[in-house]
Structure 1
């Protein structure tokens, strides 16, 4: 990256309006939701952000009235994004967005160790205009689903739609409901887990509920839909969207998701599963252009239905 203001780009001049201090990087993410926190931090490290005329740092505390200048260079090149034909289960599509029913086993976007065969590669074949939307390696992606989590995912097809939908996620205008089968029986019929999520202190490949400053606020509401002997079918609703949030919060409750290879220690399952039994069943959002309320539902995968049938059958036999 070049110096401050060099070459093509956009100069933003902002004023911090809040009475309480906040880290520079966190505030800028809220101002530019189409940019990831990692990329915002790269801007800061490269000297692209000044606070009151002085080069800022990610941890710089902003105070009321501080003047913030941000030089936004053009999006980074996408060196290995290639269009690849693949079947897409489209639940809704127009000129501005597309909602898909994602299958298990499909990674959402490329990464250095997983350069193709992702949902983004399939989307680039289906929507050739995506590469300029959002930059980095996740063009158009509003939110993620884990590789083996199935169900509703929305992708923006324009920059305007991307920013609008990301704001809806942040402000909880968009609603996301999941169904998951968990080990054990929760004592109550419903509840809420509030616990900051950060990297696991002993295993950096995992996440956990943490008490130190590294964690990010996370809130998950849950309700029992069906009690199935040693298992239960739960409906989850997210207030936040942290990495592995439902999986981490379920394990923290003592009721990990069935089939979760990371957060569940149980390897004996009622049925062979491709991954965790977690499905994004329902997505509600305001259309970013027309403002019409859209509610999309994704049918349960066949293996999820088979799991429920197996557990119901076992319960019936145990009660006879």
Structure 2
């Protein structure tokens, strides 16, 4: 039997191909594009283009297709319970989690389970999507949208710079008092092993980070960092560019850490979206414990 869909408000404006890729998981994207181009997919009983924008009430018909159920991701109860305790804000549009350091936001490669998989499991809602990303090693605020409409609104807020984010960063050495802003363009590149990195490059994209000192000891400085733009690894690259790499950063460090450090000392502390409430994510014990040991050293 053919499969039929009725487009509801959440999917208004979405491209037909993206809608079907999402709905028909895990059918390969290549197969879906073939069906559309061959006229096997009908919208309101007519052939449709790949890039057709859906309207409310559109009726989509696709031919019978065999879908293998994706393997169930095994999520430990202890991890689910821990992430449930890390939920720091939720409303009808979004969920905000204080992500632990070391947990990727999504699965991929050798990573079997990401934060998004755990949150979808907790809420029994596959349609929850990441509104943005932070690095695996970074802890703190991660925002997820509960509906496609909310996702589009959140993406708009991020793209229009209507989001203010603050990070706590512990960096190597004595940060200079007069260095309150780093305005250096950043470009991305890929290592031969597929690892993504970023570097200062005058031909790159504009990148601006504001820094202020919260505390200091002889070997390190605790900073508040505000990324005005949102480039890959921006805070880490900008801190390293002035000789004060984030402690625990194996990608961009230029010297050894003054003490043994098991994590990247970067935490997404707060986020405020489009004049909404400021959502705070407290640093965890490992962050405070590391600062205490640094102060004992000097």
The alignment's TM-score, normalised by the length of structure 1, stands at 0.66
Corresponding position: 1:220 with 2:217: no
Contact 1:11 1:70 in 2 (8 A): no
Candidates 195, 199, 209, aligned match of 2:200: 209
* SS of structure 1 residue aligned to 2:51: strand
Of 303, 308, 311, the match for 2:286? 303
Question: Residue 127 of structure 1 corresponds to which residue in structure 2?
Answer: 123
Q: Is residue 279 from structure 1 mapped to residue 267 from structure 2 by the alignment? A: yes
Match of 2:163 among 174, 189, 193: 174
Asked if 2 retains the 8 angstrom alpha-carbon contact of 1:189 and 1:224, the reply is no
Report if aligned partners of 2:247, 2:261 keep a CA contact under 8 Å in 1: no
Q: What TM-score comes out, normalization by structure 2 length?
A: 0.70
How far apart are the structure 2 equivalents of 1:11 and 1:298? 34
1:1-320 map, 5 Å: 71-72=51-52, 82=73, 84=75, 86=80, 87-88=82-83, 89-114=86-111, 116-131=112-127, 140-200=129-189, 205=195, 206-212=197-203, 215-273=204-262, 275-286=263-274, 293-315=276-298
Question: 2:185, 2:199 → 1: CA distance?
Answer: 8
C-alpha distance 70-237 of structure 1, shift in aligned 2 (>3 A): farther
Instruction: Report the CA distance shift for 1:238/1:80 in structure 2 as closer, same or farther (over 3 A).
Output: farther
Task: Kindly provide the CA deviation profile for residues 171-229 of structure 1, in whole angstroms up to 9, marking residues without a partner as x.
Answer: 222110001011122223442222222234877632111123xx322211111111211
- C-alpha contact 1:259 1:269 (8 A) present in aligned 2: no
**Runs of at least 4 residues off by over 6 Å:** 8-13, 201-204
Residue deviations 1:70-128 (CA, integer Å, cap 9, x gap): 81589xx99568473522111011232111100011000122442x2210110110133
Query: CA separation in 2, counterparts of 1:282 and 1:11?
Result: 31
Question: C-alpha distance in 1, partners of 2:12/2:158?
Answer: 25
**Secondary structure of 2:180's match?**
strand
Measure how far apart 1:151 and its partner are. 0.7
In our comparison, the structure showing a higher alpha carbon Rg is 2
Distance 1:159 1:103 in 2: 26
SS of the equivalent of 1:293 reads coil
Alignment match, 2:22: none
Q: Is the Cα–Cα contact under 8 Å of residues 134 and 142 in structure 2 kept in the other structure?
A: yes
3-state secondary structure, aligned to 1:130: coil
> Could you say what the CA RMSD is over the residues aligned between the two structures, in angstroms?
3.3
1:35 corresponding residue in structure 2: none
Structure 1 residue ranges without an equivalent (≥5): 1-7, 14-41, 47-68, 132-138, 287-291, 316-320
Question: Residue 311 of structure 1: CA displacement?
Answer: 2.4
Question: Could you tell me how far apart the structure 2 residues matched to 1:201 and 1:121 are?
Answer: 26
Q: Distance in 2 between matches of 1:225 and 1:189?
A: 14
Aligned length: 240
SS in 1 for 2:277: strand
Q: Secondary structure at the match of 2:295?
A: helix
